[in-house]
Amino acid sequence: MAINATNFPYDLQNITGGGNILEFIRNVNNITDGAFMTGMLFAGFVILFTSMQSTGSKDALLASAFIITVLSVFFRALGFIDTIRLVTIIIIFLLVFAISAITKKD
């Protein structure tokens, strides 16, 4: 069975000439239409959340959401994610923060 590479839906540009890791990540992110960095942020959130479980689920959720929001602002400044994804992440953080503040038990 032969594979027809001309019908491949992705842009298979040559990215081996990238000078550094930043260019490589930018090229991979462009090929995947921003899904690569979004996936990296989600994986980072899961890792942070599970590693902070000893503080309790609510505090772990709030802390990991805050760290991912700060990383998202940094990644937006580098051009890794677009503005709509950044705004979505900020809105999710604000919702988590509001729910955490409302349900806080003293």
- Domain of 49 in residue numbering reads as 33-106
The reply to whether 45 falls in a domain is yes
In a domain, 88, yes or no: yes
The reply to whether 14 falls in a domain is: no
Domain membership of residue 17 (yes or no) is no
3-state SS assignment for residue 52: coil
Q: What percent of the chain has pLDDT over 90?
A: 46
Give how many domains the chain has, as a whole number: 1
User: Is there a domain that residue 27 lies in?
Assistant: no
Query: How high does pLDDT run on average in the chain?
Result: 84
| Residues whose CB falls within 8 Å of the CB of residue 32, separated by 6 or more in sequence, listed in order | none
Model pLDDT, residue 58: 87
pLDDT: which is higher, 93 or 4: 93
Q: Is residue 59 part of a domain?
A: yes
| Residue keyed to tokens 């979004």 | 38
What are 18-59's pLDDT values in tens digits?
577 888 888 888 888 889 999 999 999 999 999 999 988 888
> pLDDT higher for 5 or 52?
52
Q: Is residue 105 part of a domain?
A: yes
Evaluate whether residue 43 is within a structural domain: yes
